[in-house]
Chain A
Amino acid sequence: MNGFRGKFTLLALQNAPLILFAVLIIVFGFMSDRFLTPINFVNIVNQASHIAIIAIGMTFVLLIAGIDLSVGANMYLSAAVLGVFLVGMPPIVAFPVVAVLGLAFGAVNAVIITQLRVAAFITTLATLFVGRGIALYFSGNKMVPFSKSVLEFGRSTYLGVPSAIWVFAVVLIIALLVLKLTTFGRQVYAIGADPDAAAKAGINVKRVVFAVYCICGVCAAVGGLVSGSQVAVASSTFGFQKEFPVIAAAVLGGTSLFGGRGSVLGTVFGAVLIQTVENGLVMTNANPYIYPLVISVIIFIAVFTDSSRTTVLERLERRKIRVEPD
């Protein structure tokens, strides 16, 4: 009986974000008649894409029980390089260059974490400041305007869908394939569940961890490009504190901060959920000062359900010494 109740609690906790999402849609739908329209939904996804792209990279990191706080800085650095150095280049050339730069940023994190064995939290906290510092130096602490071609990309649509959503879709599909269908992807889950067992099983743990931080770096840079192409200029606060909605999106989507559990689809859902809240607040003419408050309540609920879920799971899986006859 106890086990049944435990499982029921678990089910409720696992679907808490979904329940939250449904409630929010109903509430906002009643409060604003513009909210429940197809155009608004495309808008939400369009605005959520850069967060979703970065959060997909973050999901890889969280799956191995790591963390990357430097994604916002990586984003800003990418945008600054694009706006300062790659002005004449068409997006088709400039974007891959910036993506490679993002990979290099991730690789720096990876080297410090895997080779120098510094905790991921400290490492990426440091590279957050270093990254922003370099970007501020490049931009001379001024607004960085993007070239016209970049803005045209940001405004363009294909088959009626904004290009940001297309980029987001491509990243999502690649991430899904990698996580579900490659040995590497499965090893990411294995390492998150138990790094010692993974090493004993013969997985090259260091190499996988290295690659994961590189992937997160690329995603951060691509997210920066998508966001940059939508906002015309990168101010000195571009990408500032983006790590919070990014991590929140992943956790809202069911990714555990302790590794081994989560999915990119869930993360995408989390990103859309956060954007839905922001959009709904705008649509209902809420006081802009309460936005952060509402978002932080949502994030708190996400983190809280994650930890209660872990507790319930632990209780269900507690090691039994005696095998009781039933």
Chain B
Amino acid sequence: MTATTQAARDAAITAGRPLLKVEGLCKSFFGVEVLHKVGFSLQAGRVLGLVGENGSGKSTTMNIIGGVHQMDAGQIQFDGAVYRPKGPRDAARQGIAFIHQELNLFRNLSIAENLFITEFPKLVPGLPFIDRSAARKRAAELLAAVDLDLSPTTLVNKLSQGERQLVEIAKALGAKAKVIIFDEPTTSLTTRETDRLFDIINRLRAQGIAIIYISHILADVMRLCDNITVLRDGHVVGSALKSDMTIERMISMMVGRSIDQLFPPRDYAAPKGDPVLDVAGITQRGTVKDISFTLKAGEVLGISGLMGAGRSELARILFGIDPYSSGEIKIGGVAITAPTPSVCMDHGMAFLTEDRRAEGLMMEAAIDTNIALSSLQNYAGGLGGMIDRGRLAGDVQKMSTSVQISAKDIVRTLVKNLSGGNQQKVVIGKWLLRDPKVFILDEPTRGIDVGAKNEVYKIINSLAAGGAGILMISSELEELVGMCDRIMVMAHGEIRATYERGSFDREELLRAAMWDGIRSSSK
């Protein structure tokens, strides 16, 4: 740090000028604009709360400030100078620490090693050898600063989530950070750990460190922050002092979006058929608790909730990937005693995972190969179980037309060359070829453009009209409201509320998902 910038910083503080000022920040990924002229400012010793729905651009904004992504347009002033970090390390060196939701600690190393992994104190200057006792001593000082009463030689593996969080803060302090960004720091913390974290944050604030605090838990934001900025669809929709803000107002700012013709209509009043999926009291320690619901033929049942509420975990249990300790699952009225994916598939269940790249698709194979993959045994027969290639090719072609995959040649086009939306249609087509009775869709429209979304919605509607039961997990409230007959809201692994179509209320849904936050604020 040179003398001039130090002087500039002091001047900035005395003049009440912001320590960090973001103006006109724009960012697009693959042609989709995710940030549009985002701007806010932050003073030393203040806490700025940043709230918004999933995908509203909070994380992208912070990733730009933290040096993980580069901005397309805009300007950031930090410490009285133009700030444009080349990477995370550069950002850290300039005094901005980013504590990610997924902590960046190495579990196989000790606390002290984690704190100094890039710059250990040296035994002899110039030689590479680490001064372990100096590292331990300095680590102990940093741990004391965050009230963590642990030996610096403890392996991070042995720490609780809350303790790891504090180690990250100690690391930021060790790097002499002036701005610390927290991304969803309390999602996996207990109440006590959260209180402890807030005490530390208040202490940092008193020391003149500026904090940016991103959270879904609005009560926490109200409790902690001096200023609050609300983002929606990459735009800043409101910035205010805490005294001018309420939780209700934040929620209505976060959701106020018009739904145009995105969601194709369906005959919601049509009578539903027999139950196709009965779930009674499914419990798995640490994951989900006492989950019960019934999905009927022709019904689209949504599952809403925040990230980490246990939605995907529930889907994995239902499809037989993960175990459960108690409860009962019936598919089409038949009790499944020992579910595995293949048993569930044989009973007519299909599962579209949230990560299509890793779990759902063979990227290097052609479209037809991918679509045929899960249904090969249905086309095997005759001598030695040979596959009836003619019949298969015909059906695959029909399927790819019906899900509207836009590719000239399904035999030659590799899946990796398709857009996200078309890839998703390939996965859907793959499952539809099995003619599922129960279709679990986990984030079916994540990362695909509006046009493709609309087409995916049409497929879902026609499936439901055809008598399948759809279980749709989504982080986009609008999508669930636009598509579902019923919506269940999950939080902390439990179903907190269920709403029928007609009584959908976005604010109500969001409030149910954030129930913990509201409850703890009223305490």
Contact = CB atoms under 8 A, between A and B. Distances in A.
Interface string B139-167: 00000000000000000010000000000
Contacts of B100: 200
Interface string B235-246: 000000000000
Contacts of B285: 322, 324
A238 B416 CA distance: 43
B108 A199 contact: no
* Range of interface residues on A (Cβ < 8 Å): 20 to 34
B133 to A, nearest CB: 12
Contacts of A260: 106, 108
Nearest to B104: A197
Contacts of A190: 106, 109, 113, 117
B125 to A, nearest CB: 13
Interface residues of B, number: 37
Contacts of A200: 68, 88, 100, 104
Contacts of B493: 321-322
B203 interface: no
Contacts of A177: 129
B89 interface: yes
A184 B119 CA distance: 10
Contact of B130 (A183, A198, A199): A183
Most chain A beta-carbon neighbours within 10 Å: one of B105, B117, B190, B289: B117
A230 interface: no
Given A322-B492, A323-B190, A186 B68 contact: no
B132 interface: yes
B219 to A, nearest CB: 18
Contacts, number: 91
A152 interface: no
Interface in B59-110: 68, 87-89, 92, 100, 104-109
B130 A181 contact: yes
Interface string A166-202: 0000000000010001111011011011100111111
B313 A202 contact: no
Contacts of A206: none
B129 A202 contact: no
Interface in A280-326: 317-324
A28 to B, nearest CB: 35
B120 interface: yes
B117 A187 contact: yes
- Interface residues of B, dominant DSSP: loop
A261 B107 CA distance: 10
A315 to B, nearest CB: 10
Nearest to B490: A321
Given A189-B106, A202-B92, A182 B128 contact: yes
A184 B89 CA distance: 17
A202 B88 contact: yes
A194 B130 contact: no
B289 A322 contact: yes
B118 interface: yes
B52 interface: no
Contacts of A194: 104, 106
13 contacts: A183-B117, A183-B119, A189-B109, A190-B109, A193-B106, A193-B107, A194-B104, A203-B118, A260-B106, A261-B108, A318-B286, A321-B286, A321-B288
In the complex, the 4 A-B pairs of residues with the closest C-beta atoms, listed nearest first: A202-B89, A320-B286, A197-B104, A322-B493
Interface of B: 68, 87-89, 92, 100, 104-109, 113, 117-120, 123, 128-130, 132, 157, 188, 190, 285-289, 308-310, 313, 492-494
Given A190-B106, A321-B493, A322-B493, 20 more contacts: A177-B129, A181-B130, A181-B132, A183-B118, A183-B130, A184-B128, A186-B120, A189-B108, A198-B106, A199-B88, A201-B89, A202-B88, A202-B92, A203-B118, A319-B188, A320-B286, A321-B286, A321-B288, A321-B492, A322-B494
